[in-house]
Amino acid sequence: MKAIIEVAKAGSAVRAARQQLAASRGGEAVDFRLSFESARSLFADLTPARVDLLDTLRRVGPCSVYALSKAAGRNYSNVHTDVARLEVLGLVERTDEGSVSVPYEAVEILVPLAQAA
């Protein structure tokens, strides 16, 4: 399963949710979709440091935020803040024991360019 992050017009998230629901009812594996209304808002939430954390966490596997900060070579407080935001976005999961993990094999970011006149 992969996470698809996209810039989409208002209302397209509802359309995508309907498609996901139909696919899941049919027994198909459903990719996680996350939509933003602009590239600016997408990259405000999904900074390069947060993308690097997703990559590091996927590489090292489920671990504590402290262990993740050590593996990433970053300050614990900053990693804690980034993990909390990634969790809200649905890109990171936390176990009952407090470990964090990335449940996706890949993350695709789709940013459409302006239409030519």
pTM: 0.79
**2 by DSSP, 3-state: which?**
strand
pLDDT tens for 70-100 read 999 999 999 999 999 999 999 999 999 999 9
Q: What pLDDT sits at residue 53?
A: 96
Q: Would you give the distance in Å from CA 46 to the centre of its chain?
A: 8
Q: Which of 110, 94, 91, 96 is nearest to 1 (CA)?
A: 91
Q: Is the pLDDT of residue 112 over 60?
A: yes
Distance (Å, whole) CA 5 – CA 109: 5
For the chain, give the percent of residues with pLDDT over 70. Answer: 80
Task: Give me the chain's average pLDDT, please.
Answer: 86
What is the second-level CATH architecture of the domain 2-110?
Answer: Orthogonal Bundle (1.10)
